[in-house]
Amino acid sequence: MSEKKRVVVTGLGIASSIGMTADSFWSSLSSGTTGIRPITQIATDDFRTRIGGEIPQEQIDSSLKELGFRPDERSVSLAHIATAQALADAGLFTAGEPPVRSEAGVIYGTGVGAAHSLYAAYAAFAEKGMKGVRPTTVPRCMANSITAQLSMKFGLTGPNYVTVCACASATTAIGAAFRMIRDGYATQMLSGGSDAFFEPVTFAAWNNLGVMSRDPDPNRACKPFSADRDGCVLGEGAGTIVLENLEHALSRGAAIHAEIIGYGESSDAKHITSPSVDGQVQAMRAAIKCAGINPAEAALINAHGTATKANDETEASSIREVFGKAADSIPVVSNKSYFGHMLGASGASETIASILMLKNGKVVPNLNLENPDPACSLNLPTGSTIDLQGDIVVKNSFGFGGNNAVLVLKRAES
């Protein structure tokens, strides 16, 4: 067996309700600024939940115009914006110039896929019948249209495919890309996730599922690990990272943001929506074993932390079982109170947040946590940023369907 390659991150890109660049994203995280606001894309008068981590349309339009890109399916446009940033950050793309074709591949996660295009197609069919459905519906509505469009837009000739694992989609995609590079099947990979679902049918389904917060105050609604939490708040967006093997990154003089040292995944195999301690523990232990570390070496756990009763309690129990007494001291944070639950893109945005915390040596606080749930007995920092006491972050992502995916990230060597 060939020697395992070290895998590093050389590019970051983000499109979110708290920032459309990595710098603005970090500024909002470090200042405790939320991007949750009243939803404007659809009429919400009949909905119990009327808020979300929505990206203002003018910000999307402005970003696309700066890149010289035309608008596409919303999830694709967000992926284009985040990916252009990540490739530019890695020194692999310049806006306004033709892309340099490479053998890099793209593995991207999505939970819903082309939701806006699907809704438009169904609405057209309901109104006009078969004549209302355009032939372009097929390529626009394929789940893999996201990676297909990314590969064509940026000249990525390696493998391209999407992972669809609900809320674990992006983390699973990054894990797959990590393994491809580590095991020598690729030198460079682009990975992350995108989801945009503020259209009437998808949002109505989530509204009726009964797991979203009904708090009308956007600044207070998302409260992971709080005793008075009443559900998650959804948020759209995309996050992209560029991964490559360390030797290749050094040979071209690339700046290294962080290193991925471990990945683990599992399936609960129990229930389609209810999480399982056993499954989460299995994934965390697999990631830690892959990384070759002891649990107590973790300086931070970036939790899935959805602010639903079942998820937060289950995840707290899982962390306790894996980390033991170290769980008393390792900070645990959930970023979803800042930008909402991005479903299939959440793992990408939260991985980028983890990398930025490593780079800046700071832990961003949990928002809206004045009343911690005793059933979530963890070290849950609040207030302002605190110093990160170490070099390793464990990033959890858990999803409907029983999908569990966990990354272990390490600070880049100076």
From residue 216, alpha-carbon distances to 145, 221, 335, 370 in Å are 35, 7, 20, 18
Angle at which helices 115-128 and 74-89 pack, to 10 degrees?
160
Q: Within a 13 Å sphere around the CA of 193, how many CA atoms are in the beta-carbon half?
A: 36
167 is annotated as an active-site residue: yes
Global model pTM greater than 0.95: yes
Task: Note the pLDDT of residue 315.
Answer: 98
Q: Are 150 and 80 in contact, with CB atoms under 8 Å apart?
A: yes
Pairing of strands 258-267, 403-411: antiparallel
- Read off the DSSP letter of residue 406: E
Rounded-to-integer distance, Cα 414 and Cα 412, Å: 6
Q: Is 304 a catalytic residue?
A: yes
Q: Which two tokens stand for residue 272?
A: 């389609």
Q: Among 80, 116, 257, 304, which one carries the catalytic annotation?
A: 304
Catalytic member of 80, 116, 257, 341: 341
Q: What are phi and psi of 234, to 5 degrees?
A: -80, 155
Q: What is the pLDDT of residue 353?
A: 98
Q: State residue 414's pLDDT score.
A: 72
257 an active-site residue? Answer: no
| pLDDT lower than 50: segments of the chain | 1
Calpha distance 117→190 (Å, rounded): 24
Q: pLDDT value at position 1?
A: 46
Cα distance between residue 314 and residue 155, in whole Å: 42
Is residue 174 helix, strand or coil? helix
Among the options 167, 222, 232, 376, which is catalytic?
167
Residues 104-125: tens digit of each pLDDT: 999 999 999 999 999 999 999 9
